[in-house]
Structure formats: C-alpha cells, structure tokens
Amino acid sequence: MAAALETAINRGRLNMKQIRELKEASIDFNSMISEKLRENLHKKTVDEIFSSGTGEFDEEEVYEKIPIDLNINAEKAKGVVHELARSRLSNSLIQAVALLRQRNQQGVVSTLNDLLACDKAVPSEPLTWEVPEELADLYTIYMKNNPAPEKLCRLQYLLGISDSTATALGETKDSVFSVGAEEEKFVF
C-alpha cells in the first residue's frame, strides 16, 4: 500500500481531501510515506492554492491544518509557503500582462486572483511595471468582474494606482485595451 500511495503522490493523484479520508479510515499515512514526500505534497498543495484563480488563501488551513495532516514541521512549511508566494507574485503580474496582450480577460482576472492569494500569504509592496497603462488596463478588467471591495482595494495598492486614477478608470471601465489597440498598428 505504501508503494501505491507514493506513486499516487508522485503522479499528483492524491490530494489533501483524500489524505484526510485515509486518516479517518485509520490508515497511518505518515508512517508509510517519507517526510520528504509529504513535504513535496505540501508544496504541490500550496502551489495549487496559489494557481486556483480564486484569490482565496486560508491561513489556518495552509499554516496549521495541512502541516498537521501531513505531520510535517509547521515552521518549515510556512517558509515554503512564503517562498512560493514571493516567487509567484511577480510571475503572476507578468502572466497577467501577457494575457492582457492576448486579450484574454478571464485569464487576466484569474491570474490577478492568484496574485492576490500570494499577497495574502506574504503581503507585498506595490509592484512595478514599465507600462503604467497596462497596469490600468489590468485594474479595469478586474473591476469589471465586480470583485469583493477588499480585493479591488488591495489590487489597486499592488498595482500602484492612485485613488483619482481608480475613480477615473471606474467611470471609463468600458474602454479597456486602449494601449493594446495602439500596439497593433504596425507600419510595413
């Protein structure tokens, strides 16, 4: 059974819900699986949370329940969470801009939610980007999806958008992709 569990973990077929079910069935998961593999499972689980597109990050679940369920060091696990969040934070902004340039609005919203989830784990300073108009377009797209006010406020902070700019964008939120339209004018 231990080999089957290891294979399932390595192939990404075992999630926290299933592990909790095994524990409820009195299966001693922790003695069958090495600590290193349990730590890898923790990392994969946290990575899935940061890429779920929901913007949700449950501190109690991630910092307490999952490490307890996997019988891993909570402080070490917290360090892994912070490391993942920091690396994904800037990558999420890059990905959101790439999706903006592809005109994939739903992808932009999902990726900005990922950015917000990472920020909940490790609060960030405002992010920088060379083209402020793209940040404004990201904010406008996110605003059009009627997010929770606290998420919109936090995104405004992270993107470095002033209150006056946010108000102006709110009034003109139907004209998204102004920068993108200009970028498509090529001279041959």
Question: What would the pLDDT profile of 137-172 be if each residue is shown by its tens digit?
Answer: 999 999 999 899 999 999 999 999 999 999 998 887
Q: What pLDDT sits at residue 172?
A: 76
Mean of the pLDDT values across residues 100-123? 96
Residues of the chain with pLDDT > 70, as a percent, come to: 91
Q: Which of 177, 188, 152, 183 is nearest to 167 (CA)?
A: 152
CA distance 77 to 25: 25
Mean of the pLDDT values across residues 3-9? 78
Q: 62 or 23, which is more confident?
A: 62
Residues of the chain with pLDDT > 90, as a percent, come to: 67
Contacts 24+ apart (CB under 8 A), 75-81: 76/39, 77/39, 77/42, 80/39, 80/42, 80/43, 80/46, 81/46, 81/121
Instruction: Write down the domain spans for the chain.
Output: 34-181
Provide the whole-model pTM. 0.83
